[in-house]
Structure 1
Amino acid sequence: MLIRKTIPEGLVISVADFKNRIRFEGAPDEEKDDIERIIRSATTRYETRTRRTMLPTEFEWRAPGWSCIEIPVAPIRSEFVVVYLDPAGTEQTLDPSQWQAHVNEDRGARIEFNGSSFARPALSTTTWLPVRVRFSAGYDDPEQSGSGDDPVLSQNPMDVQAIFMLAAHWYANRTTASDKPITSVPAGFEELSDERRIYG
């Protein structure tokens, strides 16, 4: 079970860039809050569909036991920390020598415990999902210093375009008083997100 521990403050597409791309003709601060909400909602929709994390975010993956753990989140930004709740409900950190992380930069990660040599510490029987893997994931915030220094963590133009398409569509159809037929998402968004989706 994936738990999102932080909510990024940044935006994949800045409000100013969004307004420029849709040729917004109002005042600089006009509709700023509405546009920001639309961009965040479009980003969340894209992340849910593709399993990609668009901005740096802290996560925790929770599991019921010591089986191999598949983490379908990309890109991974940090080292992993594996902790567990012991029978007394006290959090313990598992020694890194007891497990291995295999990261695929475009597919997520797999945590494997060291087979027959793994001591398999006793776990809490009163806590749901007592094994926890903590890590950070997400592409660089384009507004932050150093963004783009690591190609693996650079924003992909296809991701940004898909989010823009959906946000622009929702912005154009944000009221029901429209003579245009309203569809849930533009076809281009589905095609781009399907191409960038992480399967597994």
Structure 2
Amino acid sequence: MGLRRTSMPAIEPVSLAEAKLHLRVDHDDEDTLIGALITAARMDCEERLQRSLITSGWEWTLDAFRDLGYVPRPPLVSVTSLKYVDAAGTQQTLDPSAYRVDAAGDQPGRLEPVAGQWPFAQDRLNSVTVAYQAGYGAAATDVPGPIRQWILLAIGDMFANRERSSDRPAVGQDFADGLLDPFRVWVL
């Protein structure tokens, strides 16, 4: 089983202007560095939460339909395609009318067959592929405020502490990490 991002977010959840305001930086000399810190903080946040923040594309491969559980990296926006390898070894695309998508809320989404069972798929490595979109939305403001605040704190910590330090981990404060707790994916 595998998961890979097929398209990156079009924007970051925190803009360069927001980060510079938070950092109290009023010049352009460090814009490249601050932009890199924004991306690093977003990526770290997504890993900690096991979520997609800004809508992006994903491809999830499984060995069989029985492995199909909760769709990783919620919130699920839509399923683009569901493909499988049939008995003859040919990849087929399942018609969207043959399955239901549960993408309610910001919890991990699910898929289920309309007919009560999935079609026969070869039981082999990566025989089922789900292509989908996940994220809170296309705008930075779609991302919950506490998550955006954590990203700003992480950017501030990395900006202030540019050298790796074993005694002061980046964003190690319990309060800052606590901002993410309500959004963590615990089921997967």
TM (norm. structure 2) is 0.84
Residues 1:9 and 1:33: Cα distance change in structure 2 (over 3 Å): farther
Deviations 1:34-75 (A, max 9, x none): 111111111111111112211120011211112142113222
Look up the match of 2:20: 19
How many residues matched?
Answer: 183
Unmatched tracts of structure 1, length 5 or more:
149-153
Look up the match of 1:151: none
Residues 1:90 and 1:192: Cα distance change in structure 2 (over 3 Å): same
Picking from 132, 135, 149, the partner of 2:129 is: 132
| Deviation of the 1:114 alpha carbon | 4.5
* In the alignment, structure 1 residue 158 sits paired with structure 2 residue 155: no
Q: Distance in 2 between the 1:54 and 1:196 partners? A: 11
User: Is the CA contact (8 Å cut-off) linking 1:166 and 1:186 kept in structure 2?
Assistant: no
Unmatched tracts of structure 2, length 5 or more:
none
Identity %: 27
| Deviation of the 1:9 alpha carbon | 3.8
Picking from 151, 154, 177, the partner of 1:190 is: 177
User: Is the CA contact (8 Å cut-off) linking 1:11 and 1:141 kept in structure 2?
Assistant: no
Look up the match of 1:50: 49
Q: Distance in 2 between the 1:48 and 1:136 partners? A: 17
Look up the match of 2:158: 170
Look up the match of 1:62: 61
> Runs of 4+ in structure 1 displaced over 4 angstroms?
none
* In the alignment, structure 1 residue 78 sits paired with structure 2 residue 66: no
Pairwise mapping of residues 143-154 of structure 1 onto structure 2 (< 5 A)?
A: 154=142
Look up the match of 2:90: 90
User: Is the CA contact (8 Å cut-off) linking 2:87 and 2:120 kept in structure 1?
Assistant: no
Q: What secondary structure, in the 3-state scheme, does the structure 2 residue paired with 1:45 have? A: helix
Superposition CA RMSD, Å: 2.4
Q: Distance in 2 between the 1:63 and 1:47 partners? A: 22
Deviations 1:81-138 (A, max 9, x none): 21112355532111234322222312121112356x536223274xx21101111111
TM (norm. structure 1) is 0.80
Look up the match of 1:99: 99
